[in-house]
Structure formats: C-alpha cells, structure tokens
A and B are shown apart, each in its own frame.
Chain A
C-alpha cells in the first residue's frame, strides 16, 4: 500500500503545493498544465456529482478509482482542496486529508506571516512536516506496493 502523490489547491485553482513519493509514470505535460488539468477535472466532477446525484448530497465527491490507483478528495468550506493519489488497497482517508489541512496547512502556512496566501507555499517547515506525516501513515510503505 502506498501514497503516490499529493496536490493542494486554493479556491482560485492555484496549486499551493505538490509532493510525490512513488510515481512511476509522469503525465507527459509540463507541471503547470498538469495542475490546471487536475483542478479543472475536480471542478467538473464536483458539479457533475451534485447535479446527477439521485439523493440529497451529503459530502459530495469523495474519491474515484481506476484499476491501478485511487484518487481521494477533500474540500474545506473555504475552498482549499486536498487531493491524494494512493494505490487501491487504501480505504476512506477523509480524516487524513483533514489533518493535512488543519494541522499542517493552517498551522504552518496560514499562521506563518511570511507565507503569502494564494501562492505556492515556500515554507520548508511545511514541506518537511507534510513529508514526515505522509511517510508515517499506516498505508504508506517505503517500497511501492
């Protein structure tokens, strides 16, 4: 079981942070385009899911999976989006993504007066803590599964 990569977007679609741990295949397009593609897809899926839902919406879009990976999604009321790609053995990780938002993003970026909001995060501390946190997750193994 493993974590492939992680994206963090703000409400305007700016990619605040991207980290990867095990990614065997790249998208084949420049990183900027990849972020736009990811954000655009999320935007579309969210609105699709809420329109086509046969029941009243509760949490909205949570995850999708293919035969090789699973994409987990978490959005805060302020529009911050946490997207994590893992392999298929990983179950719902809403609490993990919420922790990344509240204990890492809010504590180390929002509260850091030297990190301007709405731009890519430059804080080394944030990058390090996020990396340690992801590596400490029970479903992260150092060997790609």
Chain B
C-alpha cells in the first residue's frame, strides 16, 4: 500500500514543480510544462514496455488490451474500465475512476486543472506503445472527475 502512495505523491510534486518553475504562467508556459511531463511519461513508458510484456503480441488490438490490463494494473492497481475502437487505428480508453484524480474531486471542481495530472500518463501510454513498435498520438480528456478518457491514434508508418 505504501508503494502506491509514493508514486502518487511524487507525481503530484512533479506537476507542481513544473508548473511553478516556468516563468510564463500563461498558456505558452502551461504547454511547455505539459510537454515536459508528457516526455517524462514517454521515457518511463518506454522502459516499462521492455519490462512488462510476458508474451509477443499477434496484433494491434492485443497491444491495446495489454495497455488496458497489464500496464494499468502495474501502475494504477486496476484495469481500464472500457476500450473502444473504430478498427482503423483509433482507440478510446475509458477510466471511470482514475486513481490520480480520485482524491481531487467528484464532479466538476478542479476540472480545468485536471489535464495537468493526465499529461504524464499520456506519455506513459505513448512510450509503451513505441517500445512495442507503434508510433502514436495520445491525448486525454476529462468531463467529470474522477473519470477520464485517453484517445490513442496509431500512426501508420
């Protein structure tokens, strides 16, 4: 139990530190901090992508299922709640109670700050996919806390 809390506190501090460091508090600075967070998540994801998988994946959908099951359990102690796809390389991963958002609110309070706490995780997904051989674009959205969605678009190489 203590291990989980360590990551949560560290992540919260990363977001706070990057937000505080930037001299530009406007949207430009925000974007820079978000991309630093995303980049950090990307590198962590790349490493996890080497370490976690137990078997080779036959197809793209299996990789996404791996993200929703094994990766999510390893990092957040739960599985993703939903996975949708258009079978043409776009996937939507739905988490109804994302652990990093749970202590914040149940509803709409803090909604505008929520994306800062999803940037690292977007990078995490993108990095894991990269190691497994897929270039992608990962974005996130929050409608009501603590539920959120991650949109993954696999780039055709």
Q: Decide if A128 is an interface residue (CB 8 Å cutoff).
A: yes
CB proximity of B115 to chain A, nearest CB, Å: 12
Q: Decide if B12 is an interface residue (CB 8 Å cutoff).
A: yes
CB proximity of B129 to chain A, nearest CB, Å: 27
| Size of the chain B interface, CB-CB below 8 angstroms | 16
The answer to whether B16 and A124 touch across the interface, beta carbons within 8 angstroms, is no
CB proximity of B130 to chain A, nearest CB, Å: 27
The answer to whether A114 and B110 touch across the interface, beta carbons within 8 angstroms, is yes
**Chain B binding surface, main DSSP class:** helix
Q: Decide if B73 is an interface residue (CB 8 Å cutoff).
A: no
Instruction: State which size class the interface on A falls in.
Output: 10 to 19
Partner of A113, one of B5, B16, B107: B16
* One of B26-34, B38-46, B81-89, B98-106 at the interface: B98-106
A/B interface sample: 11 pairs, CB < 8 A: A108-B103, A111-B8, A111-B9, A111-B12, A113-B16, A114-B113, A123-B109, A123-B110, A125-B103, A125-B106, A125-B109
Q: Which 10 A-B pairs have the closest CB atoms?
A: A113-B12, A111-B103, A112-B103, A124-B109, A125-B105, A125-B106, A112-B104, A114-B110, A108-B103, A114-B113
